[in-house]
Amino acid sequence: MIFNLQDINRMSRHALTAVATRIRRLASVLDRLADSLGPPEAAMWRQAEARARREVEEALRISEQRFRGLFDNSLSGVALHEIMLDAGGQPCDYRFLMANRAFETHTGLRVAEIIGRTVTEVLPGIEQSGLIGIYGKVALTGEPVSFEMFLELNRHHYGITAFQVGQGQFATVFENITERKAAEKEIRDLAFFDPLTGLPNRRLLLDRLQRALANRQRCAQECALLFIDLDDFKTLNDTLGHEQGDLLLRQAAARLSACLRESDTLSRFGGDEFVVMLENLSGCPDESAMQVEHLGRKLLAVLDQPYDLNGCEHHSTASIGITLFGHQPIGVDDLMRQADLAMYRAKAMGRNALRFFDPEMQAEISARAALEGHLRQALQQDQFRLVYQAQVDQGGRLIGAEALLRWDSPQLGAVSPATFIPQAEKMGLIVPLGQWVLDTACRQLALWGEGEDTAHLMLAVNISMRQFHQPDFVEQVLMAIARAGANPARLKLEITESLLLDNTENVIAKMTMLHALGLGFSLDDFGTGYSSLSYLKRLPLDQLKIDRSFVQDVLTDANNAAIARTIIALAHSLELEVIAEGVETGEQRDWLAAHGCHAYQGYWFGRPVPAEELIASF
């Protein structure tokens, strides 16, 4: 049973008392009127008046019972009060006149102990709350009021309605809204806080960042964003499971929180990413940068401490990107992008590092984005071409060539393969680009096969790791050969040692299948990557290629010379051909020949040129 204003106004004990008073006054008037009548008429009047009096008194009794039943059994706490005024006529206190059981339950105040007492006697210090002034206005003006308050007495939230019930008197109705407030808080927390760590989430961070940017004109201090990414977190999830990953995130959040001021914002931005927003730094950008760097290194240090994941000790590090902002006009998205770019640059430094945003980073990103657009366009518009670098024997005779990709962009000019090939790898374009190279090279090989002086030439084509791992790689190679009408025995596929790091058995199976059909394989850049003699023995290789990094200093660096000699000896012991790339002088060629290497490639014999020019030069 819940009280409302109508219930109280309709059944107020004071209102009923006023009605009874008016009835008694009316009865007195009727008595005087009866005295002025004759005996028969007077008797009739008195009988009628007595009957009416009994009916009214019964109605009053029933109404009083109903009021008392509602008042006593209401789930809402209800109390009647009398306002008290000071000498200046201002509200200074109020007295408890009545209160129901629910009021006692809600507030913890015993009704028997408070009736007749003032609120300042019952609750010392309540003057500071402003309630006396609020209730005084209600009692004196008759204007009702509703509000919410938190009662320290029992740590509950209440919705309170106060209204006048007589001049200088008022009633209060209490409803316990603690559960509703808890539900509202839960909804608010779900909207603005991360359920795993309890930290502000992305939405709340961006909202606070927006406010900080809006306020920056009124504040002389610098602000900063720190974008924190836990290194190799995916590996932890994959190996130990998401439960352990969640535990590490909670511990990392606690460590970060312990390093920050109460005014700082720490947010779990998503996944293994945290963002710290620092406000009210020094007004000097250089001093602010020093402050933030000091904090950043402190955060790196605490995140580098071992984690206890249910008894399992785990080590983890983080990378931090930092951007400062003050009075310069900038948007939320741009700030987040700057911090993110700086974080990725920190990862590129080797992780467990921090970097400040530099405008050059944005320039690099913009250039990379432009490169991506031009690269896609180049593939669609056939802007690529192949050039061929000679491979010769000890006598200087042309025995083959390596096909090398070139890109002449109408917008960018000649773009270095060292620039666009890694980008094509990242974009996923290396597979269609590699297929184009293979198709074009096979057509050139078929043309050479038709000439008496060129039919003996081998053509080496580089194959990327991603292209090789395509499920239909073998079929695509055979189709390229078939479409061009090329001799598979004159085609050599160059692979790198990194290809052997993943799914080695599948790599060997594909190589064996193609080798059985006549294709050759050369292991490119040998000695610079992951080398395993056990795999080397199992691979159907035809050739080892000495990397240019060993060749260029073979005459001056004893270590490079020793490595080159070892590769040559290893190739001979495995009955493989050996070729050296990057040969730029006759002395290098002579040294290699003296140590058993009889095939060469490099500027000493010619730069990469179109096929017609290559043949003409020999």
Q: Is pLDDT of 603 > 50?
A: yes
Cα separation, 324 vs 344, whole angstroms: 17
Cβ-Cβ contacts under 8 Å for 156 (sequence gap 6 or more): 106, 150, 176, 178
Cβ-Cβ contacts under 8 Å for 228 (sequence gap 6 or more): 256, 273, 274, 275, 276, 299, 303, 318, 319, 320, 343
pLDDT given for residue 533 in this prediction: 72
Q: Average pLDDT of 461-476?
A: 96
Q: Is pLDDT of 359 > 60?
A: yes
* Helical H segments across 86-201, by residue range: 101-107, 111-114, 119-122, 131-141, 178-192
Q: Is pLDDT of 406 > 80?
A: yes
pLDDT given for residue 502 in this prediction: 79
Cα separation, 281 vs 193, whole angstroms: 25
Cα separation, 386 vs 443, whole angstroms: 11
Cα separation, 59 vs 291, whole angstroms: 80
| Residue 161, SS3 per DSSP | strand
For residue 290, give the H/E element and its range: helix 285-303
Q: Is pLDDT of 462 > 80?
A: yes
Average pLDDT, the chain: 88
Contact 456, 497 (CB under 8 A): no
For strands 223-230 and 273-278, give the pairing.
Answer: antiparallel
Contact 333, 206 (CB under 8 A): no
Q: Is pLDDT of 253 > 60?
A: yes
pLDDT given for residue 22 in this prediction: 57
Q: Is pLDDT of 293 > 90?
A: yes
CA dihedral 509, 477, 465, 418 (to 10 degrees): 150
Contact 219, 288 (CB under 8 A): no
All structural domains of the chain with their residue ranges = 5-72, 77-180, 193-357, 371-617
Cα separation, 501 vs 92, whole angstroms: 84
DSSP per-residue string spanning 354-370 = EEE--HHHHHHHHHHHH
The pLDDT-based confidence of 125 (bands split at 50, 70, 90) is confident
pLDDT given for residue 434 in this prediction: 96
pLDDT given for residue 329 in this prediction: 80
pLDDT given for residue 476 in this prediction: 97
Selection from 399, 492, 393, 396 nearest residue 442 by Cα = 492
Q: Average pLDDT of 321-349?
A: 90
The pLDDT-based confidence of 361 (bands split at 50, 70, 90) is confident
Backbone angles phi, psi at 259, to 5 degrees: -95, -5
Q: What CATH number is given for 371-617 in this structure?
A: 3.20.20.450
DSSP per-residue string spanning 242-289 = HHHHHHHHHHHHHHHHHTS-TTSEEEEEETTEEEEEE-S--SSHHHHH
Q: What is the DSSP letter of 526?
A: E
Q: Average pLDDT of 226-242?
A: 93
Selection from 329, 404, 330, 334 nearest residue 366 by Cα = 334
Q: What percent of the chain has pLDDT over 90?
A: 60
The pLDDT-based confidence of 273 (bands split at 50, 70, 90) is very high
Which of 191-205, 235-249, 360-374, 384-398 is the least confident region?
A: 360-374
Q: Is pLDDT of 1 > 70?
A: no
How many CB atoms lie under 10 A from the CB of residue 146? 11
Cα separation, 203 vs 191, whole angstroms: 8
Q: What is the DSSP letter of 604?
A: T
Q: Is pLDDT of 515 > 70?
A: yes
Selection from 375, 377, 340, 376 nearest residue 361 by Cα = 340
Q: Is 553 or 502 the better-scoring residue by pLDDT?
A: 553
Contact 481, 444 (CB under 8 A): no
The per-residue pLDDT for range 550-567, each reduced to its tens digit, is: 999 999 999 999 999 999
Q: What CATH number is given for 77-180 in this structure?
A: 3.30.450.20
The pLDDT-based confidence of 151 (bands split at 50, 70, 90) is confident
The per-residue pLDDT for range 11-63, each reduced to its tens digit, is: 444 554 555 565 566 556 556 655 555 566 656 656 766 776 776 676 766 65
pLDDT given for residue 197 in this prediction: 96
Selection from 280, 286, 300 nearest residue 226 by Cα = 300
How many CB atoms lie under 10 A from the CB of residue 561? 16
Cα separation, 275 vs 356, whole angstroms: 14
- Give the pTM: 0.58
Q: Is pLDDT of 308 > 50?
A: yes
Cβ-Cβ contacts under 8 Å for 529 (sequence gap 6 or more): 496, 497, 498
Q: What percent of the chain has pLDDT over 70?
A: 87
Backbone angles phi, psi at 278, to 5 degrees: -110, 130
CA distances from 223 to 227, 259, 279, 284, 287 (A): 14, 17, 5, 11, 12
Q: Is pLDDT of 66 > 90?
A: no
Both tokens of 123, joined, read 């609750």
For the domain with range 193-357, which CATH number is right: 3.90.850.10, 2.60.40.10, 3.30.70.270, 2.40.50.100? 3.30.70.270
pLDDT given for residue 11 in this prediction: 42
Which of 29-43, 113-127, 504-518 is the least confident region?
A: 29-43
Both tokens of 23, joined, read 């009835």
pLDDT given for residue 155 in this prediction: 85
How many CA atoms are closer than 13 Å to the CA of 352, on its beta-carbon side? Answer: 8
CA distances from 617 to 171, 226, 396 (A): 109, 59, 12
pLDDT given for residue 13 in this prediction: 46
pLDDT given for residue 363 in this prediction: 81
Q: Is pLDDT of 218 > 80?
A: no
The pLDDT-based confidence of 10 (bands split at 50, 70, 90) is very low
pLDDT given for residue 8 in this prediction: 43
pLDDT given for residue 326 in this prediction: 80
How many CB atoms lie under 10 A from the CB of residue 130? 9
Both tokens of 450, joined, read 């038709």
CA dihedral 286, 360, 325, 264 (to 10 degrees): -90
**Count of residues in the chain:** 618
Q: Average pLDDT of 442-458?
A: 96
- Name the burial class of residue 413, with classes exposed (0-12), middle (13-18) and buried (19+) by CB atoms within 10 angstroms of its CB: exposed
The pLDDT-based confidence of 2 (bands split at 50, 70, 90) is very low
